[in-house]
Structure 1
Amino acid sequence: MDLPTLWFLLIALLWTGYLILEGFDFGVGMLLFALGRRPEERDALVRTFGPVWDGNEVWLLVAGGAMFAAFPNWYASMFSAEYLPLLILLVALIVRVLAIEYRRKHDGPNWTTRWDRVLFVASVTAPLMAAVGLANVVHGIPMDAKHDFTGNLLDLLNPYSLLGGVAVLSLFVLHGATFLGLRTEGTLRVRARSLAIRVWPVATALVAAFGIWTLLGASSVARGISVVGTIAVVLAVVGLVATGLALRADREPIAFAGTALTIAAAVVLLFAQLWPNVMPSTDDPAGTLSIAETASHHYTLKVMTWVAILVTPVVLVYQAWSYWVFRHRISAEGFPEGGAGAALQSLTHRPAGDA
């Protein structure tokens, strides 16, 4: 395997990690008011991902950095063409951080409720813009032979990309609900499971429609149905079926694993249909960017590969350890008795003014 292809696959892996890990964060944010009927319950929901959300976002930073270093022309063309959706994504991520950090900086239900609303809006906006952006990359973007964007905002809001955005939102809601089934107890746990059961048919229908459309030819470059793409669709279906069955059998780990598998399969499908290009052109075929012509110099990719080999295991071990430390269930009544994890949670999320 040549280095450009290797880094194309690694970028797909980074996007998979980001969407799985940050996906349940976004899902919980979208469920704040659906499941948290009191401020104490919303506090508990935020605490489920409070210690790990910033580590999850690192995957997005690394994915963007890898695209910039490994495929600079791809990075430049994509950010130029999708400037507005990606700008909205960036603003939503920044505002989301403010909501998480500032919601408990002042005592009073009105202050917390306002920031919770901001968190909800940002949790909807960010994944929606990310999904629309990725869907447009697969579908194709109007570009001329010089790889300059020749379209407008309406070209980016095409039916395929909008379906992708709605499908991702529904899948993340389901993913967040299954995550809450693992991380909460009592009433919140019951509500999360009940909501997940109700959301499952809608998410399944939307994801299936988006997956079939992608497999049958969402891209402007005709290549036919790929074997890898077909396998990815099958795995997505397996994941959704497993989630539905596990929810009804009250098998929360399997339900969460099923939604995670579906997200991973969806990313594989998108990148499989994109290969060997990185950005098809819907305007001029000469404007289509391929992996080979957008890749950095061989030496650059070689250095990046060695850095990834040395650093990635350390990052994965640290992130796995953080999840293990904060593995205990959370309730709206207070912090659980669970040793070091509970103690660290109580220190990490101490309200302002108690220090």
Structure 2
Amino acid sequence: MLIWLTEYLIQSFSIFKFFYCLTFRAGMSCLTAIFLSLWTGPYLIIWLKKLHIEQSVRTDGPESHIRKHGTPTMGGLMILFSIVTSVLMWSYLFNPYIWFTLFVLISYGTIGFIDDYCKVAYKSSKGLTAFWKYFWQSLIALAVILIIFKIEKNTPSPTQLVIPFFNEVKPQLGVWYVPLAYFVIVGTSNAVNLTDGLDGLAIVPVVCVAFGLALIAWVTGNIGFANYLHIPYTQFAGELAVVCAAIIGSGIGFLWFNTYPAQIFMGDVGSLSIGGMLGIIAVLLHQELLLFIMGGVFVIETLSVILQVSIFKLRGHRFFLMSPIHHHYELKGCPEPRIMVRFWIISLMLVLVGLVSMRMR
């Protein structure tokens, strides 16, 4: 939005040309999102408390979570507001990728909002039924994927898959692009949702992954760097760095209030939306497998749930004391802050591994 205003200012003041600089706009997007989160956070917490929009704790969860009962939820509204505002302010709005990411963010945020509302209204931790949650997630993801496929079908690499550590191997997936992209968007959304079980546990890995994707978006949108790293050059990809920067800024601002002991929880309105947004960004960058590496914490959390359910159905006993896996460590006596920080460290390491894999040949 500000770029349009700058076009008129440049005619009289050439100094405003720096507004065209992608790194400048990404940095300002991050700072704007941080400011908006820190500014709106206290007001949102007070407002949610007045409306009694509070967290419903699982009755079968760890006893230490009883103290979390009554903590305001739906803090993801703060995240969505700061991301959308920052992106609209600092991105080039003629770029279609911007609207794909915002559409997924807002639509998945709407699903999460309904889910959170059901939990609050019925004083339950279950919320929206799994069928309807996955139905709407699937419908939205497939609609976006098919539109992207139609737009990019005439480009050199519409269904190209980049394999980390083997960047010169880029198979064309053809029709298999659709189920892979669907799995990435819907899977990442729900994986972030599963990870969001401890104070600050999900938001820092989200920030780390967004930082990694921001760097990938920057090089993917630069034909020189893209050729050097043997990754597909994508014309519109560079602008996604501004989107990722907004995610980083909003995450940092939200962590201010969500760090242990949390003053507010993001709720499904936050976790489903930012998870889906990370997924669509990875799809647009053709870095689905790289997201699998950098978002390894989300993968581990999801696999722990799948393993727990599968073994219980097959053998009638639990593999973990409780799933997702962070609850397992809680029940083993590991303090919540220790689990949280160690998961952060693992997430940072995995993002670095993912970035290093981009230069391996």
Superposition TM-score tier, normalisation by shorter sequence: 0.3 to 0.5
TM-score by length of 1: 0.34
* Higher-helix-fraction structure: 1
TM-score by length of 2: 0.34
